[in-house]
């Protein structure tokens, strides 16, 4: 039965809800509630008062905490745990696995994928626009990821990071 609800949620989301105006639009037709409803059907876990924005694409293996959001045009591929009170900007990409490329005698596109490494985002995190988070990264509670950053390694709690690759800028404490 769970599988049926996930498929129904995905059908409603990808055919209708994904295309509705953003939540901040002057046109309010219940888009936030519709997308949250789809999230509750589709996601591994979906907390209360979530905000899934327009054109977001995400895996059913995402867990979304209370009062958290998935930003406009976000792409979340694979297993990702998002804590409570997480803000996510537009065009964020979260990847839980990469292509294999060890062999040079076989084209990379035929080598398959590495094993999935889930991404974990703590509570009260702010992820800026166009951030890319790579496989296996853990982002600590209270952290801020500056716009345009590429996060390749873990971010300690209450740390502000930015750049390519992302480096600590300062601490919030």
pLDDT in tens, 116-139: 999 999 999 999 999 999 999 999
Contacts of 142 (CB under 8 A, 6+ apart): 122, 123, 124, 125, 157, 158, 172
For helices 31-42 and 2-15, give the axis angle rounded to 10 degrees: 150
| Per-residue DSSP letter, 123 | S
Q: What count of other Cβ atoms lies within 10 Å of the Cβ of residue 67?
A: 17
C-alpha gyration radius of the chain: 17
Is the pLDDT at 97 greater than 90? The verdict is: yes
Query: According to the model, what pLDDT value does residue 2 have?
Result: 84
Q: How many angstroms separate the CA atoms of 39 and 84, rounded?
A: 15
Q: What mean pLDDT do residues 48-57 have?
A: 97
Query: Which pair of structure tokens corresponds to residue 120?
Result: 């974990």
Task: Give the tokens for residue 111.
Answer: 């080598």
C-beta separation of 118 from 81 below 8 A: yes
By annotation, the residues acting in catalysis are 99
pTM: 0.93
Q: Is the peptide bond before 165 cis (omega within 30 degrees of 0)?
A: yes
CA 123 to chain centre: 14
Statement: residue 11 has pLDDT above 90: yes
When pLDDT is averaged across residues 51-68 and rounded to a whole number, the result is: 96
In the chain, pLDDT over 70 holds for what percent of residues? 100
pLDDT above 90 coverage of the chain, percent: 94
């Amino acid at each position: 039965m769970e599988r049926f609800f996930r498929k129904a949620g995905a059908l409603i989301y990808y055919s209708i809800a994904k295309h509705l105006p953003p939540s901040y639009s002057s046109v309010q037709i219940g888009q936030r509630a519709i997308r949250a409803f789809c999230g509750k059907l589709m996601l591994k876990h979906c907390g209360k008062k979530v905000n899934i924005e327009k054109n977001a694409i995400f895996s059913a293996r995402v867990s979304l905490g209370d009062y958290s959001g998935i930003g406009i045009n976000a792409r979340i591929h694979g297993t990702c745990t998002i804590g409570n009170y997480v803000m996510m900007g537009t065009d964020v990409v979260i990847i839980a696995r990469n292509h294999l490329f060890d062999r040079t005698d076989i084209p990379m596109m035929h080598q398959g994928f590495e094993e999935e490494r889930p991404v974990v985002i703590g509570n009260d995190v702010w992820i800026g626009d166009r951030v890319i988070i790579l496989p296996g990264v853990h982002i600590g509670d209270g952290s801020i990821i500056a716009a345009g950053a590429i996060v390749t390694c873990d971010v300690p709690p209450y740390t502000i990071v930015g750049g390519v690759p992302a480096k600590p800028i300062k601490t919030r404490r």
